[in-house]
């Protein structure tokens, strides 16, 4: 990440300044620990005369140096800003009353939002700075620290301990792993040298195709392997979090969290599952006044609304029950389905009675919800009507107004024990014909704006409707990172792994994605952080708004010069003479598109009045966030919060305004802020943009999984899921956000992180060489040719070394990650299955969609489901995606039979080359074996297996008869000629 000219103080966060000699102030010359003069004086006055990092005594000469201190006003809350407009700070994200009505530019400040701010700059410029006193320094330091962190000095020493800890992988496991990676890279180089310098003239086309495929596989391996160079693990200390922010007898100072739950079609996403997700959120182990749950109904279905009414009513019973007995998980469907002794560790005598009563209540709740679902199967001709007789506004899902309903969290919404409940809000954004709504990404952005107006929590946790909270302390786990003063300020999000219920033990189709979540994501956590995977993620709201992290270098002034090859300012090139050309200033301010959507004004004091006016006018808030003064005001609050004096009805009206279908027009929504548009995998794109801005993310893996998905996936649905992911990657590859060329100017994305993102968008293209490589063994067996010449001793050693290095790399990877061999093998199998089917279709569909504008859909036809356990996993759904792998299996089986038949005819000398060919054919068949089992359906369907194998074997022997005809002995042509001559005609 690009560093600024003057580093920031590690104590107060301000620039350390420069000394009397004009150089950057350095207090400790042993370790160069960044700390400003004011903090050094404070430490010395308190009796601490040693460096905070290395404990070396401070140099007397450096201590007496003068340093220019910057003034930073205290952070305020929205309520303070609304009630005290004359008290204006100078922080970029904290301004007083904002008006979107009178948003014309003026000559003095560039925008009325900044009028008072510019006045404060003028006053500051005209004032002569005086050396601060000890009391002033201490007051400034307290003002610079957020309120939730100021209490550290008032707590016992144990409460100020770190909230999380990084646990590097032991060197005994990691060093051999790295050595084998390097060794494998060397062997690959020697292998390709041999392959290229030893062509097979008799099968030149096959040889050339195989070499091209192998080179691509090697590149894919590099992209996948090297981002796992420095994996780490993390542990959290939730007890320390409570000790620091939840002191007995005082209100909790934990940060508020807004939960987002998104759903579209209640007939495909059962309301009962969505209800369980909502109930698990409402019962989470976190202060109720800090939790709000927003449910996005993007289909405007009355069924979803009515099911939420039932859910809110049942929550009044369920939430106090969960918290009274500390049950896990807190989704009733999955809690009551557990096959465990629920009496274990429950000492309350009333538990058994209350549990049975709660189970009866839940069964009644299920009956009511299922009755709503049954009623919704047939839509009335006149449309749905509400209880008061008025028509449901969302009868037309593509043309309806915005709808918001607050169920819980308001006056009177208490549980059965009289305690307050978390807020539950139903949201359905406005939709009109002719507007682009951007599917899930657009729905999430609508929730961002609604939540900012109503609750404005500083953190956002988004979940899919089928992912429930499995660990009630999951939010606390995330807060151990986000609220840590050392780690939290630069974090854009905390990602949790995805775990799933309803999958059989063998995990035939690699639904758990264990290798990705337990290997790849740990590796990325050691670089710049894991990628965003779409659910189970806690966001810093400021990162979603496009702001840069606190450590983001200041935007270069017009007087700075940019490096011609790296685009950095003042990092590798000397500064030039200041320039006042407005066009040049505009170019410099706009050249780096990776800068935050809102200009980072932390270093604004370095600019003169003219430059500030130009920069501010270029970064108009209305053009970025839209025309809502209340929402813009909320974006400037790092610590969140809304004014208690604001009329709730007025806030609801404003919330309706920010979810109107035309609100995002001519703004930066979906381009630079919020969920990013342009791909069906908006999650990858959104996380990528944040990392490009300089943020980092963290991977949190608590012992008890934080969230779990509840829907099992059969073969066809799994392939279509993978098809959608791959299609999104192809869309990103063909867009301006492709990691191959986007984001180089800022230098904030680490190169290993770039390799990882590159791998996420190019992996579908591996399907092309993979299909070719799976066909080559069958062609070799049918034609009698081979892609490898006769091996010498050296070549044999290279091939053997390559296979051994592949095996050892995998074994060592499993050793440090804890993934089992079975899970690794399932992942390898599905890599081939998905590669030759879903990824292949995604490549063609992506090019047709992005280049030709043709949107191709592959339909799925389902048969009846099995009622047995895991029955849905074995449903046969015929779709075009199944054709390529089926063809490859048949072709390779035909090739194996043909190869053995040919070897039997030719004699023992043909068996040697046969083994090499058969080895590759069996490699293909073994990897596609789970697909073959999925094609068969349930294992007890013997007739299906018999019929399929009968047709397959009949086809094989028919082809062998035509190709080889082994029952007729071959006669040499010379012998026939001699016999003809000897005949007496």
Domain residue spans of the chain: 1-60, 169-228+752-940, 255-547+671-734
Which range in 154-163, 425-434, 850-859 is most confidently predicted, on average pLDDT?
Answer: 425-434
- Structure confidence by residue, pLDDT tens digits, 239-281: 888 988 888 888 888 999 999 999 988 888 889 999 999 999 9
Between 81 and 192, where is the model more confident? Answer: 192
pLDDT, residue 487, reads 86
pLDDT at residue 38 is higher than 60: yes
Question: Can you tell me which residue has the tokens 């494998």?
Answer: 184
pLDDT at residue 497 is higher than 90: yes
pLDDT at residue 101 is higher than 80: no
pLDDT, residue 571, reads 34
As its CATH architecture, domain 255-547+671-734 has Alpha-Beta Complex (3.90)
Which backbone phi and psi does 933 adopt, to 5 degrees?
A: -65, -40
pLDDT, residue 150, reads 42
Q: Which residues are annotated as a binding site for Mn(2+)?
A: 440, 464
List the structure tokens of 284.
């989470």
Reduced to 3 states, what is the DSSP secondary structure of residue 250? Answer: coil
Rounded to whole angstroms, the Cα distance separating 597 from 977 reads: 87
The total of other beta-carbon atoms located within 10 Å of residue 81's CB is 22
Stretch 627-652: mean pLDDT, rounded? 78
Output the 3-class SS for 49-105: CECCCCCCECCHHHHCCCCCCCCCCCCCCHHHHHHCCCCCCCCCCCCCCCCCCCCCC
Q: Evaluate whether 164 touches 478 at the Cβ level (below 8 Å).
A: no
Between 562 and 443, where is the model more confident? Answer: 443
Which range in 20-34, 735-749, 938-952 is most confidently predicted, on average pLDDT?
Answer: 735-749
Handedness of CA 788, 793, 798, 802 (dihedral sign): positive
Strand 491-495 and strand 537-540: the pairing is antiparallel
pLDDT, residue 311, reads 92
Q: Evaluate whether 483 touches 718 at the Cβ level (below 8 Å).
A: no
The CATH class for the domain spanning 1-60 reads: alpha beta
Q: Which residues are annotated as a binding site for UDP-alpha-D-glucose?
A: 262, 268-269, 298, 439
pLDDT, residue 620, reads 67
Between 851 and 441, where is the model more confident? Answer: 441
Stretch 595-615: mean pLDDT, rounded? 45
CA 134 to mean position of chain CA atoms: 46
Rounded to whole angstroms, the Cα distance separating 89 from 870 reads: 60
Rounded to whole angstroms, the Cα distance separating 11 from 28 reads: 14
pLDDT bin (cut points 50, 70, 90) of residue 332 is very high
Handedness of CA 515, 679, 492, 740 (dihedral sign): positive
DSSP letter (8 states) at residue 420: B
Question: Can you tell me which residue has the tokens 């996993």?
Answer: 873
Poorest-confidence range of 121-130, 716-725, 961-970?
Answer: 121-130
The total of other beta-carbon atoms located within 10 Å of residue 147's CB is 12
Q: Evaluate whether 917 touches 979 at the Cβ level (below 8 Å).
A: no
pLDDT bin (cut points 50, 70, 90) of residue 719 is confident
pLDDT, residue 521, reads 92
Strand partners, 508: none
Output the 3-class SS for 432-469: CCCCCCCHHHHHHHHHHHHHHHHCCCCEEEEEECCEEE
Handedness of CA 206, 212, 216, 219 (dihedral sign): positive
Which range in 315-319, 405-409, 853-857 is most confidently predicted, on average pLDDT?
Answer: 315-319
The total of other beta-carbon atoms located within 10 Å of residue 487's CB is 19
Q: Which residues are annotated as a binding site?
A: 262, 268-269, 298, 439-440, 464
pLDDT, residue 218, reads 93
* Percent of the chain at pLDDT exceeding 70: 70
Poorest-confidence range of 346-355, 871-880, 899-908?
Answer: 871-880
The total of other beta-carbon atoms located within 10 Å of residue 156's CB is 8
pLDDT bin (cut points 50, 70, 90) of residue 602 is very low
Burial zone of 983 (CB within 10 Å; 0-12 exposed, 13-18 middle, 19+ buried) = exposed
Poorest-confidence range of 102-116, 155-169, 595-609, 725-739?
Answer: 102-116
pLDDT, residue 361, reads 92
pTM: 0.74
Rounded to whole angstroms, the Cα distance separating 633 from 453 reads: 9
Q: What are the residue numbers of the active site?
A: 298, 683
pLDDT at residue 429 is higher than 80: yes
Rounded to whole angstroms, the Cα distance separating 390 from 469 reads: 36
Which distant-in-sequence residues (6+ apart) come within 8 Å of 683 by Cβ?
531, 532, 533, 534
Total residue length of the chain: 985
166-170 long-range contacts (CB < 8 A, ≥24 apart) are 166/232, 166/233, 166/234, 167/232, 167/233, 167/234, 167/235, 168/230, 168/232, 168/233, 168/526, 169/231, 169/232, 169/233, 169/816, 170/816
CA atoms within 13 A on the CB side of 878: 1
Which range in 107-116, 593-602, 729-738 is most confidently predicted, on average pLDDT?
Answer: 729-738
Q: Evaluate whether 420 touches 292 at the Cβ level (below 8 Å).
A: no
Stretch 132-152: mean pLDDT, rounded? 45
Integer-rounded Cα Rg, in Å, for the chain is 33
pLDDT, residue 907, reads 63
List the structure tokens of 894.
């035909």
Q: What is the mean pLDDT of the chain?
A: 74
pLDDT bin (cut points 50, 70, 90) of residue 869 is low
pLDDT bin (cut points 50, 70, 90) of residue 638 is confident
Q: Evaluate whether 908 touches 483 at the Cβ level (below 8 Å).
A: no
- Structure confidence by residue, pLDDT tens digits, 503-552: 877 777 888 888 999 999 999 998 999 999 989 999 999 899 888 888 76
Rounded to whole angstroms, the Cα distance separating 420 from 926 reads: 57
């Amino acid at each position: 990440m690009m560093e600024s000219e003057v580093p920031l103080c590690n104590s107060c966060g301000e620039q350390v300044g420069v000394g009397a000699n004009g150089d950057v102030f350095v207090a400790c010359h042993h370790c160069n620990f960044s700390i400003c003069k004011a903090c050094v004086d404070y430490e010395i006055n308190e009796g601490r005369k040693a460096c905070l990092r290395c404990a070396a005594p401070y140099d007397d000469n450096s201590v007496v140096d003068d340093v220019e201190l910057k003034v930073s006003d205290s952070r305020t809350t929205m309520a303070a800003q609304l009630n005290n407009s004359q008290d204006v700070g100078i922080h970029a994200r904290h301004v007083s009353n904002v008006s979107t009505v009178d948003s014309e530019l003026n000559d003095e400040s560039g925008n009325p939002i900044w009028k008072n701010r510019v006045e404060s700059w003028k006053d500051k410029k005209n004032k002569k700075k005086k050396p601060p006193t000890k009391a002033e320094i201490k007051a400034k330091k307290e003002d610079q620290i957020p309120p939730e962190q100021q209490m550290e000095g008032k707590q016992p020493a144990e409460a100020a301990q770190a909230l999380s800890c990084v646990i590097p992988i032991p060197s005994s496991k990691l060093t051999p792993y790295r050595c084998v990676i390097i060794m494998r890279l060397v062997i690959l180089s020697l292998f390709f040298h041999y392959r290229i310098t030893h062509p097979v003239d008799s099968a030149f086309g096959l040889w050339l195709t195989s070499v091209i495929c192998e080179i691509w596989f090697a590149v894919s391996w590099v992209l996948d392997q090297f981002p796992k160079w420095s994996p780490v693990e993390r542990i959290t200390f939730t007890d320390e979090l409570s000790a620091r922010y939840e002191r007995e007898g005082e209100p909790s100072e934990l940060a508020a969290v807004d939960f987002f739950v998104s759903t579209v079609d209640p007939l495909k996403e059962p309301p009962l599952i969505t209800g369980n997700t909502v109930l698990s959120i409402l019962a989470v182990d976190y202060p109720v006044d800090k939790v709000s749950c927003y449910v996005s109904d993007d289909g405007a279905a009355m069924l979803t609304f009515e099911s939420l009414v039932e859910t809110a009513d049942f929550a009044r019973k369920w939430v106090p029950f969960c918290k009274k007995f500390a049950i896990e998980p807190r989704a009733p469907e999955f809690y009551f389905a557990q096959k465990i002794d629920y009496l274990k560790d429950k000492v309350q005598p009333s538990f058994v009675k209350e549990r049975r009563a709660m189970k009866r209540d839940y069964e009644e709740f299920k009956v009511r919800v299922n009755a709503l679902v049954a009623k919704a199967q047939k839509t009335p001709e006149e449309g749905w009507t509400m209880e008061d007789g008025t028509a449901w506004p969302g009868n037309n899902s593509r043309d309806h107004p915005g709808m918001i309903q607050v169920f819980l969290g308001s006056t009177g919404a208490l549980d059965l024990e009289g305690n307050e409940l978390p807020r539950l809000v139903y949201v359905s954004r406005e939709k009109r014909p002719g507007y682009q709504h951007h599917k899930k990404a657009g729905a999430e952005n609508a929730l961002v704006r609604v939540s900012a107006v109503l609750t404005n929590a500083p953190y956002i946790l988004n979940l899919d409707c089928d992912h429930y909270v499995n660990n009630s302390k999951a939010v606390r786990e995330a807060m151990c990172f986000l609220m840590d003063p050392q780690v939290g300020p630069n974090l854009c999000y905390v990602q949790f792994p995805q775990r799933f219920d309803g999958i059989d033990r063998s995990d035939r189709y690699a639904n758990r994605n264990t290798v990705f979540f337990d290997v790849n994501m740990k590796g990325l956590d050691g670089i710049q952080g894991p990628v965003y995977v779409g659910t189970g993620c806690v966001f810093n709201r400021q990162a979603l708004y496009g702001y840069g992290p606190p450590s983001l270098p200041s935007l270069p002034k017009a007087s700075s010069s940019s490096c011609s090859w790296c685009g950095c300012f003042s990092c590798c090139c000397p500064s030039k003479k200041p320039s006042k050309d407005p066009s040049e200033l505009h170019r410099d301010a706009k050249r780096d598109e990776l800068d935050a959507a809102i200009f980072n004004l932390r270093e604004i004091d370095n600019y003169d009045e003219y430059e500030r006016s130009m920069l501010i006018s270029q970064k108009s808030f209305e053009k970025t966030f839209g025309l809502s003064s209340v929402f813009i005001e909320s974006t400037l609050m790092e610590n969140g919060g809304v004014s208690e004096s604001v009329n709730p009805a007025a806030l609801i009206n404003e919330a309706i305004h920010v979810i109107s279908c035309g609100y995002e027009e001519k703004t930066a929504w979906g381009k630079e802020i919020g969920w990013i548009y342009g791909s069906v995998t908006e999650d990858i794109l959104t996380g990528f943009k944040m990392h490009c801005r300089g943020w980092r993310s963290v991977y949190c893996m608590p012992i008890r999984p934080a969230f779990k998905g509840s829907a099992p996936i059969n073969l066809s649905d799994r392939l279509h899921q993978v098809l959608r992911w791959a299609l999104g990657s192809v869309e990103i590859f063909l867009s301006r956000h492709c990691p191959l060329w986007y984001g180089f100017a800022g230098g904030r994305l680490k190169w290993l992180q770039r390799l990882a993102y590159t791998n996420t968008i190019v992996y579908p293209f591996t399907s092309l060489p993979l299909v070719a490589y799976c066909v080559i063994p069958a062609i070799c067996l049918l034609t009698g040719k081979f892609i490898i010449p006769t091996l010498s001793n050296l070549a044999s050693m290279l091939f053997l070394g390559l296979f051994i290095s592949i095996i050892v790399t995998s074994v060592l990877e499993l050793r440090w990650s804890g993934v089992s061999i079975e899970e690794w093998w399932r992942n390898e199998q599905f890599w081939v299955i998905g590669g030759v089917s879903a990824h292949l279709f995604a490549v063609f569909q992506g090019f047709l969609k992005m280049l030709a504008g043709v949107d191709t859909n592959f339909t799925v036809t389902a048969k009846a489901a099995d009622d047995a356990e895991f029955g849905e996993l074995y449903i046969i759904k015929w779709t075009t995606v199944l054709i390529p792998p089926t063809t490859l299996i048949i072709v390779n089986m035909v090739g194996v039979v043909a190869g053995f038949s040919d070897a039997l005819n030719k004699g023992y000398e043909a068996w040697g080359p046969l083994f090499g060919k058969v080895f590759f054919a069996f490699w293909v068949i073994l990897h596609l074996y789970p697909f073959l089992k999925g094609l068969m359906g349930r294992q007890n369907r013997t007739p299906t297996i018999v019929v399929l194998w009968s047709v397959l074997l009949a086809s094989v022997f028919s082809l062998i008869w035509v190709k080889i005809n082994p029952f007729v002995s071959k006669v040499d042509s010379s012998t026939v000629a001699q016999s003809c001559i000897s005949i007496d005609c």
